[in-house]
Amino acid sequence: MLCRSLRPYFSARSTQFQHPFRARPNAATTFSKRCYTSGTRDRTTVGVFTPKAAALFVATGIGLFYYFRHEKQKLLEQRQKELESRSVGRAHVGGPFTLTTHEGKPFSEKDLLGKWNFVYFGFTNCPDICPAELDKMGAVLTSLEKEYGTIFQPIFISVDPARDSISQMKTYLADFHPRIIGLTGDYATVKSACKAYRVYFSTPPDADPKGDYLVDHSIYVYLMDPNGQFVEAFGQSSSSDEVVERVKKELAEFEKETGRKV
């Protein structure tokens, strides 16, 4: 230390003499001592932000900038991959078909475009399952249309062309939601539509129109987007509320990707 004193020449028992070089502190010494201490503190404080520290600070800032930009780019790339996987990972359901509505009008896969479609395959002589599924479809439509309007198109395709004539379909659908479109045709066209949607049905090609028989078939309501692409299949275990929530989610994703609802 600058003002460090020397040890006395005499032993501890000698108290009559002081160190020959030890001077009594005076104002100048005290002032010098204080100035020295204060200067040390100032240099210590200022020395924290040295040119080296400033360079390190700038380098860190630049590094953080590029890091966050890199992370943002990774998130964008991940989002793009998710969108691609949604498209590539979809089941290949749907395809060309030409049938006739219960109003006697032609209807093909092109008529699905521009609407969210619910497509169900069944038959009018079905005792319980088909009526229950069509009722559920109607409840889903009623709920969704309150929020989105008529951007949905419900379709009922017969898997029993021998008995489900145009007039029979019209009479049958009068008991369900008024916007459900019934589709039927000959055996070949119905079989083609079922194949496109991967629907199993057991109706024989030579079935008797007056016969009393049941038809075994797949029980799903297919959701198709406005581009005619398959989105989801809802089975019997899906409640109407569950279907509504899922449709809302898919519609929101579609709008986020395309900027439109249909």
Q: What is the mean pLDDT of each run of 10 residues along the chain (262 residues)?
A: 41 43 48 46 55 81 78 60 53 93 98 98 96 98 97 98 98 98 98 96 94 93 96 96 98 95 96
Angle at 172 between CA 209 and CA 191, to 5 degrees: 50
How far is Cα 9 from Cα 154, in angstroms, rounded to an integer? Answer: 113
- Structure confidence at residue 29 (pLDDT): 47
**Closest to 224 measured CA to CA, from 122, 120, 145, 103:** 120
How would you list the strands of the sheet with 106-108, edge to edge? 106-108, 98-101, 181-184, 152-158, 116-122, 221-224, 230-234
- Structure confidence at residue 73 (pLDDT): 63
Q: Contact, 103 vs 184, CB < 8 A?
A: no
| Long-range pairs for 124-130: beta carbons < 8 A, 24 or more residues apart | 124/158, 124/160, 124/163, 124/164, 124/168, 124/169, 124/172, 125/160, 125/163, 125/214, 125/215, 126/214, 126/215, 127/214, 129/219, 129/236
- Structure confidence at residue 17 (pLDDT): 42
- Structure confidence at residue 19 (pLDDT): 45
Query: Global pTM?
Result: 0.68
